[in-house]
Structure 1
Amino acid sequence: MTNCSTTDVDTLTQILDLVIYVPVLVFGLPLNIAALVVFCVLLRKWTESSIYMTNLALMDLLLLLQLPFKMHAAHHKWEEDKKLFCSFLESLYFVAMYGSIYTIVCIAIDRYIAINHPFQAKQVRSKKNALIVCSFIWVFVMATTSPIYSFREMKSGNFTCFHGFSKKGWSTGIIVCLEVFGFLLPTAVLVACSIQSIRTLKASKNSNHKKQAGVRIIYSSLAAFLVPFTPCHVAIFLQYLVRNGFISDCKHQKNIALFIQVAINIANVTCCLDALCYYFIAKEVRSTKKTFRLSMSRVRTTSTSDA
C-alpha cells in the first residue's frame, strides 16, 4: 500500500467527519445525558433493564467524548510526544464501542430470560447480578483493548492520531479475535435471543398492543446494533486484506480506505440510535414487573391444567 496514495480519500473523509460528527455530538450528548438523568434520578426504582441501559448510556458518552479529538486529528498532525495520549484515546474509543456491543447483547439475554424462562428469571435476574455483569464488561473490554498501546507505528516526527496502526495491529490473530469475539459471536447471541423472544411474545395471550410494543422494542434494538456495527466490521476485514497484501490494486485500496472511514462514522451514529431506543426501553422498564407477573401466571395456569 506504500505506492498507493490515499490523499484524496483523506480530504473527502475530513469533510464527512464534520458532516456526521457534528450532528452526532449535538444530538448525542444531550440525549444520553437526559437518559442518565431519567434512569438514575427520575425512575423511582432501578430494575435490571435500567441498570443495563445506564451502562449503555455511559458507554455512548465515552465514545462521544472521543469525537472532538478524532475531528482534530483528521485535520491536524499531532506532535511525537503525544503518542501515549493518542493511544489512550484510541483505547477508550474501542472500550466504548465494544462495551456498547456487549451491553446490548446482555440486554437481549436479560430480556430473553425474563420472557422465555420466567421461573429461572426469578433466581437469575437481579439488580446485583446486573451490576456485576456491567462491571465485568468494563474490566473485560479495558483489558482486551490494552494491546492498542503497542499498535502505534514507531516512526519519529508528527503523526496522525486514530490512523496509522502498525502491521502488528493488523495481524491475523488480532483481526480474527476482533471479528469473532467482538462482532460475530455477540451478533449470533443477539439474533438468537431476539428471535426466541419475538416468537414467545407472538405466542403469548397478551393483547395485540402489548405484543406489538414488545416486538417493536426488540426490532429497534436489533436495528441499533446491526445498522452501525455490520458495515464497520466488514470494512475492518477488507482493510486487513489490504494491509496484509491480499488486495494490491490501488483503486480497490482507495475504495476500501474510503469505505472503512464511512463505516466507522456510521458506527459512531449508534450513540444517537441507542438514545432513540431509550424511550421504548423506559416503557419496558416500567412494565417489567407487570410482564413478569403475567408470565408467571401463564406458566402456573399451564402447569395446573397439565396436572
Structure 2
Amino acid sequence: FRCGNKDNCSFEVVNNLMRYLEPVIYLPIFVIGLILNVAALLVFCFFLRKWTESTIYMTSLALMDLLLLFPLPFKMHANTYHWPAHLQPLCSVLESLYFVGIYGSIYTIMCIAVDRWVAICHPFKAKQLRSPKAALGTCMGVWVLVLAALFPIVYRFREAGQGDFRCFHHFSKKGWSPPVIICLQVFGFLVPALVVVYCSVRTIWALQQSGLHSPQSRACVKIIYSSLSAFLLPFTPSHLGILLQFLVHQGMIQDCGNITRISLFIQIAMCLSNITCCLDALCYYFIARELRSPKHTFRISMISQRRATFSTSAV
C-alpha cells in the first residue's frame, strides 16, 4: 500500500518508521492470534458436544483468521527485503490469501449478525431459516464468493516483467483503478458494515425492550458488542485509509505533506486491522461459555426473546 516516490514527495521517513513499527505490531498479533484461533478450533471441534449455527459460523471465522495470519511472516519479511522477480506468483498467492482472510472475516461476521437478528427478532421465521445445514451452506458460500471475487482481482495488482519488488507494496495502477476501489469500499466494507450495525442495534433493542435482565440476556448483549467491536475497530480505519490513498492516486490530493501523512496512516491502519484475529476471540469466548453451560442458556435466551417479541409487538 505504499505510495512510493510519487509527485516528488519523499517517503523515506515513513518507510524507515514502518520498518521498525510493523514487526512491533505484527509479532504480538501473529503469536496471540495463532494461539487463540487454534485453541478455538480445538474447542469447537473436540470439546463442544453438538454443532450448532453459532459453532459453525465461529469455526469458519477462526479459519478465516488463520488464513489472514498465515501471510503475516512473509509480509514482515517483505517490509525490509526486496523479492526476486521469479517469486512474483508466490507473492500474488500470499496477497490473495491475505485479502480473502480480511473480507472473508467481514462477511462471516455479517452472517453471524444476521443469524442472531433472525433468531432473536424473528423467532417464527428462525424455525424455517436457521439450521446447522443452512449455516454450513452460508459459510461455504462466503468462502466461494471471496475466493472467486478476490483471486482474479489481486493477481492483476502486479504487472508482469518487473524486476526485484517488495511484496504487499507498490501495487500497479490497476489495483487502484476506480472500479476496483469502489467495489472494494461498497461491497467489501460499506454494505456489510451497514448490515452488521443494523442487525446489532435491532437485536440489542429487542433485548432491552424485553424487560428481562437475566444472565442469558446480558450474555447475548456482550456477544453482540464484542462482534460489533471486532468488526468496526479494525476495518473502519483501514478502509478510510484506502479511500484517502485512492484520492491520492486520482490526483485529488496533491499536497506533499498530506500525501505523506496518508501513506503513514494507511500503513498503520492496515497493520492494526489484523487485530481482528485477536478481537474475534472475545466472540469465541462468549459463544463457547454459553454453549458449554449445562442449562443450555442459549436456548433459554432464545425462548426469552420470543416472549419479548410478543410483548413488544403488542405495544
Give the TM interval when normalised to the shorter protein: over 0.9
> Does the alignment pair 1:134 with 2:139?
yes
Secondary structure in 2 aligned to 1:60?
A: helix
Please say if residues 153 and 164 of structure 1, whose CA atoms lie closer than 8 Å, have aligned partners that are also in contact: no
**CA apart distance, 1:276:** 2.8
Please give the residue correspondences for 1:77-156 in structure 2 after superposition, counting only pairs within 5 Å.
77-146=82-151, 147-154=153-160, 156=162
Please give the residue correspondences for 1:158-197 in structure 2 after superposition, counting only pairs within 5 Å.
158-197=164-203
How large is the Cα RMSD of the aligned pairs?
1.9
Q: Is the deviation greater in 24-33 or in 4-13?
A: 4-13
Q: Which of 302, 308, 313 is the equivalent residue of 1:292?
A: 302
Please say if residues 27 and 272 of structure 1, whose CA atoms lie closer than 8 Å, have aligned partners that are also in contact: yes
**CA apart distance, 1:298:** 5.8
Gaps of 5+ in 2: 1-5
Q: Which amino acid aligns with 1:293?
A: I
Q: Quick one: distance in 2 between partners of 1:137 and 1:100?
A: 9
Q: Is the deviation greater in 208-217 or in 139-148?
A: 208-217
**CA apart distance, 1:301:** 8.8
Q: Is the deviation greater in 138-147 or in 288-297?
A: 288-297
**CA apart distance, 1:209:** 3.4
**CA apart distance, 1:297:** 5.4
Please give the residue correspondences for 1:1-307 in structure 2 after superposition, counting only pairs within 5 Å.
1-146=6-151, 147-154=153-160, 156-286=162-292, 287-296=297-306
**CA apart distance, 1:244:** 1.7
**CA apart distance, 1:10:** 1.1
Q: Quick one: distance in 1 between partners of 2:197 and 2:164?
A: 44
Q: Quick one: distance in 2 between partners of 1:62 and 1:230?
A: 20
Gaps of 5+ in 1: none
Secondary structure in 1 aligned to 2:252?
A: coil
**CA apart distance, 1:102:** 0.3
- Please list the CA deviations of residues 174-229 of structure 1 after superposition, one character each: whole Å capped at 9, or x if unmatched: 11100000111000000000011001101124334333222222111111110000
Q: Which amino acid aligns with 2:103?
A: Y
Q: Quick one: distance in 1 between partners of 2:8 and 2:306?
A: 65
Q: Quick one: distance in 2 between partners of 1:177 and 1:109?
A: 22
Q: Quick one: distance in 1 between partners of 2:306 and 2:274?
A: 39
Q: Which residue is equivalent to 2:3?
A: none
Q: Quick one: distance in 1 between partners of 2:239 and 2:250?
A: 17
Number of residues of Structure 1 aligned to a counterpart in Structure 2: 305
Q: Quick one: distance in 1 between partners of 2:216 and 2:299?
A: 14
TM-score scaled by structure 1? 0.94
- Please list the CA deviations of residues 222-253 of structure 1 after superposition, one character each: whole Å capped at 9, or x if unmatched: 11110000000000000001112111111111
Please say if residues 152 and 165 of structure 1, whose CA atoms lie closer than 8 Å, have aligned partners that are also in contact: yes
Secondary structure in 1 aligned to 2:167?
A: coil
Secondary structure in 2 aligned to 1:145?
A: helix
Q: Quick one: distance in 1 between partners of 2:208 and 2:157?
A: 48
TM-score scaled by structure 2? 0.92
